[in-house]
Amino acid sequence: SLSDKLQNIFKNLRGKGRLTEADVKTALKEVKMALLEADVNFKVVKQFIKSVEERAIGQDVMQSLTPGQMVIKIVNEEMVSLMGSETTEIALKSGNEITVIMMAGLQGAGKTTTTAKLAGKFKSKGRKPLLAACDIYRPAAIEQLRINGEKQGVEVFSMGTNNNPVDIAKAAIQHAKNNNFNVVILDTAGRLHVDEDMMAELQHIKQEIAVDQTILVVDSMTGQDAVNVAATFNEKIGIDGVILTKLDGDTRGGAALSIKAVTGKPILYVGMGEKLSDLEQFYPDRMASRILGMGDVLTLIEKAEAQIDEEQAKKMGEKLKKAEFDFNDFLDYMGQIKNMGGIGSILNMLPGMGLGGQMKNMTVPDDAEDNLRRTEAIIYSMTAKERANPDILNPSRKNRIAKGAGVDISEVNRLVKQFDQMKKMMKQMPGIMKGAKKGRFRL
Ligand code: GDP
Ligand code: MG
């Protein structure tokens, strides 16, 4: 399997001292072969190898890791980023407004099963879902949905096989309105292969009905085909996200690695079995571990990283006591925030730590990552003296810095203000780094 192959490749790497450029290249050639054999799309593999190589060669090896572990770390991180990094939730409308979800996919992919599984998820979130039986080609399909709905304690709306799917969907939505349902999931018909009739039917539904979310269900066992299917559905009907089923089999998840890269659409959930409870949120980091099959090494890497954070936090705590916190530390601190999943995630943790009142003064921009980058640019435009003594930042210095960073002076002012806030905040909260780290690893 891919996992075995990768383990072998990395075992060889670990035996060596420091990695040379040639070592990285040789190892990645083998990784490339292994990924291709695991049915990862060749374009994705090419790009993937390129980014890992770019990062691996010439990068400092973290002190507590061997060069081989360092390559694993980079391979892992690039895999996570390829799969979208973050977990994506299905967007539901608020209150009693009805969210219409259309399930699409080939026959046997797992649409009907997943429809009922999703209904269970929504129900547990306090939603009131209604399932609509829009597969009119197989009477057994309606019965299957009815039985699964019953198991979930969720109502199934059906009009038999003599109405067309558009009329059924319209009637279901009307029924939902009249009876206070707030999610309607349309279970549609699939075909064995991508064909014009199926696409036309789905397009027709989308033309006639305000579908909020089109969710594609694909069978992970079909490997690269799953990716092609996703690309075609996205092109023909437009999809919002993917649910990858049958990951409980021995598939290594090659499809998972490519879907986001090829379609630009996230994987939302993964099917982990036939039981209706076997639907799990998709975590890119868990999937990367699965594909790499190296849980022990990844844990080791996380521990090493945590240790470094701890050391830095301790150092910073000492600086704070001496009121030495400057823009160099701010830069370090930002690096750590990035490692922890962005500034938003840090600030979200604050209310629970008794800082709710201070939150009002802090801005959490939507484009937090972009903001981090601009902030870095501003600090890099400061002289060493300015970074170490922020108090000397007068208007003319700020003006020069703004020009250097290519930003407006108001941004520099805002950063200085933020810096002061952060300084205050950190003084009050020496435990912030420790607490934040707890939210870091989901495994
Ligand atoms: P549909 O034709 O797309 O509606 O597919 P179905 O929902 O009828 O599922 C086809 C088959 O796949 C059924 O036997 C399901 O029990 C099975 N199935 C669906 N999802 C999963 C999964 O995540 N794991 C496993 N092992 N089987 C699944
Ligand atoms: Mg079905």
Which of 127-141, 302-316, 411-425 is predicted least confidently?
302-316
Asked if pLDDT for residue 372 goes beyond 80, the answer is no
Q: Indicate if the alpha-carbon torsion angle 142, 146, 152, 157 is positive or negative.
A: positive
Q: What is the pLDDT of residues 250-283, one digit of tens each?
A: 777 788 888 988 899 999 999 999 999 999 999 9
CA distance 23 to 70: 12
Ligand 1, atom 9, lies closest to the CA of 110
Q: What's 252's DSSP letter?
A: -
Q: Residue 62's beta-bridge partner residues?
A: none
| Ligand 2 centroid, distance to 134 Cα (angstroms) | 9
The verdict on whether residue 246 carries a ligand-binding annotation is yes
Instruction: Give yes or no for a contact between 245 and 110, defined as CB atoms under 8 angstroms apart.
Output: yes
Exposure pattern of 366-380 as b/e (b: 16+ CB <10 Å)? Answer: eebeebbebbbebbe
Instruction: State which ligand 1 atom lies nearest to the alpha carbon of 106.
Output: 3
- Closest protein CA for atom 16 of ligand 1: 274
Question: What pLDDT was estimated at residue 326?
Answer: 81
Reduce the DSSP state of residue 213 to 3 states and report it.
strand
- Asked whether the beta carbons of 118 and 92 are under 8 A apart, the reply is no
Residue whose token pair is 């990283």: 305
Evaluate: CB of 116 within 6 angstroms of ligand 1: no
Tell me which range, 3-17, 65-79, 338-352, 387-401, is most confidently predicted by mean pLDDT: 387-401
The number of the ligand nearest the C-alpha atom of 217 reads 1
**Beta carbons within 8 Å of 399's beta carbon, 6+ residues apart:** 409
Catalogue all structural domains in the chain, each as residue range(s) with its CATH number.
2-82 (1.20.120.140), 99-292 (3.40.50.300), 298-438 (1.10.260.30)
Distance 187 CA to ligand 2 centre (A): 7
105 is annotated as contributing to ligand binding = yes
> Residues, the chain, total?
443
Average pLDDT of the residues of the chain: 81
For residue 109, which atom of ligand 1 is closest to its CA?
3
Residue 15 has pLDDT above 50, yes or no: no
- Residue 171 pLDDT level (bands cut at 50, 70, 90): very high
- Determine if ligand 1 sits within 6 Å of the CB of residue 107: yes
**Residues 151, 123 contacting (CB under 8 angstroms):** no
Q: Tokens representing 253?
A: 């998840």
How far CA 406 is from CA of 58, 257, 364, 402, 410, in Å, comes to 29, 36, 22, 6, 12
How big is the CA angle at 6 (ends 258 and 287), to the nearest 5 degrees?
A: 40
Pick from 169, 176, 153: nearest CA to 202? 169
The residue assigned the tokens 């910073």 is 316
Strand, helix or coil for residue 173: helix
Closest CA to 72 of 3, 141, 172: 3
φ, ψ of residue 322 to 5 degrees: the values are -90, 5
Establish whether 247 is an annotated binding residue: yes
221 φ, ψ to 5°?
A: -65, -20
Q: How confident is the model at residue 29 (pLDDT cuts 50, 70, 90)?
A: confident
Whether 273 is in the pocket of ligand 1, judged by its Cβ within 6 Å, is: yes
Residue 153: how many other CB atoms lie within 10 Å? 9
190 annotated to a ligand binding site: yes
pLDDT in tens, 189-233: 998 888 999 999 999 999 999 999 999 999 998 888 899 999 999
**pTM above the 0.80 mark?**
no
pLDDT at 61 (0 to 100): 67
* Most ligand 1 atoms within 8 A of CB, residue of 112, 152, 221, 274 to mutate: 274
* Residues 222, 232: Cα–Cα separation, whole Å: 15
161 is in an annotated binding site: no
Asked whether 222 lines ligand 1 (CB < 6 A), one says no
